[in-house]
Structure 1
């Protein structure tokens, strides 16, 4: 259970630092930077990355959609550049292995350890990076101040791999007006909001307010219209 609200007006109950979460931490999570649900979902994503890499790192996946060329007329023994550059960007240099290595190196620096020693091919390095991150995720969620951003980066990496491996089309984002929430002092947030075409949640990255589902989207639109009407009806200041 959450603790009872404090009587101190200026006290802010600690929340999960993962950008897409922000839920209040439970009493048993006191002192942590990330909540246990985020830790559990991140652990699952980390474990699934090696298998996703194996699915992506195949000639069939890299060449999917390529046109066949006749060996009698091509006149070249140099293989063509894979048309799936989005897949190549994940399985090649700068891809999954590099992104995992960068997170591991940051954790090692925070722990005072040497940088990650695995510098072989992505196929060789990824299992080692995954093992390190999985083994030290509890520490990071409990003691590493930047874990929220790493959780978000791992979520994005896993999502990119999953979408390509499953042949899904990534959803886009659309502008949905400005945030009508107000801070405690009455100041209007009014930050631009966007919504993903494949997600039912709208989240203001400035004040943290969220609207989940069609019913709350209607409430968001009504609040935006109310702010707009109040601004329109506000009388001009007398000269």
Structure 2
């Protein structure tokens, strides 16, 4: 809030999210249309970002730290991504979006048991799109009528930034090593390094061309790697 030159006793209303003076057409709102549009765009992008993060989490969940690798192991441990796991696990992105939705529902006075016990709420991958759908649909109301919207706009901005930063990590730009190729060729074990991407379930060996196309195939890959390691040890 600040005084105008024309009327020093009048506090011109400002956006509670960015502090910008509201236009005459925005008077009565809590946040400006610019912040509303940016928040809507960030919310709309979150489900796709979360899907990519969840793929990385599936690869690194339960991983051993590097020092846990046994000496001479041909199947190195998958490096854990704690920044990713913190966003995809309980208390992460889904929980943070849920808390905003629940606060809005309370303000709207239409919280229903069928919503609070919805089966998808226990699964972050299913919950994120549902929370986003509700928040995007009700954002115009919140921008105009919900006094705490400024903090929620900031929370969404932080969450979007954290998801984007986790996916653009320069040290591991969405790809993690998942051991060596266990395929036996005419001249012996392929043993080429395998990489998994954050944007695809497919793992492909760049040397022999063998592919593992989905989560079930990853389990097969791990068993093959363990069998190859056991064979060499013998």
Q: TM-score, normalised by structure 1?
A: 0.59
Displacement of 1:6 in angstroms is: 6.9
* Residue in 2 that maps onto 1:15: 14
Displacement of 1:9 in angstroms is: 2.1
- The reply on whether 1:46 has 2:43 as its aligned counterpart is yes
Q: What is the rounded CA distance, in whole Å, between the counterparts of 1:73 and 1:163 in structure 2?
A: 32
- The reply on whether 1:140 has 2:142 as its aligned counterpart is yes
5 Å-filtered alignment, 1:18-167, equals: 18=17, 21-59=18-56, 63=60, 67=66, 69=69, 83-114=80-111, 116-117=115-116, 118=118, 119-167=121-169
> Taking structure 1 as reference, are residues 7 and 51 closer, same or farther at Cα in structure 2, changes over 3 Å only?
same
- Maintained 8 Å contact 1:62/1:87: no
- Maintained 8 Å contact 1:140/1:147: yes
> Would you tell me which structure has more helix in proportion to its own residues?
2
Q: CA RMSD in A?
A: 2.9
> Taking structure 1 as reference, are residues 105 and 81 closer, same or farther at Cα in structure 2, changes over 3 Å only?
farther
**Range moving further from structure 2, 117-126 or 142-151:** 117-126
**Range moving further from structure 2, 48-57 or 81-90:** 81-90
- Ranges in structure 2 where 5+ consecutive residues have no aligned partner: 172-234
> Taking structure 1 as reference, are residues 33 and 65 closer, same or farther at Cα in structure 2, changes over 3 Å only?
farther
The structure showing larger relative contact order (alpha-carbon pairs under 8 Å, at least 6 residues apart) is 2
Q: After TM superposition, which residue ranges in structure 1, 4 or more long, deviate above 6 angstroms?
A: none
Q: TM-score, normalised by structure 2?
A: 0.60
Q: How many residues align?
A: 157
- Ranges in structure 1 where 5+ consecutive residues have no aligned partner: 75-79, 170-239
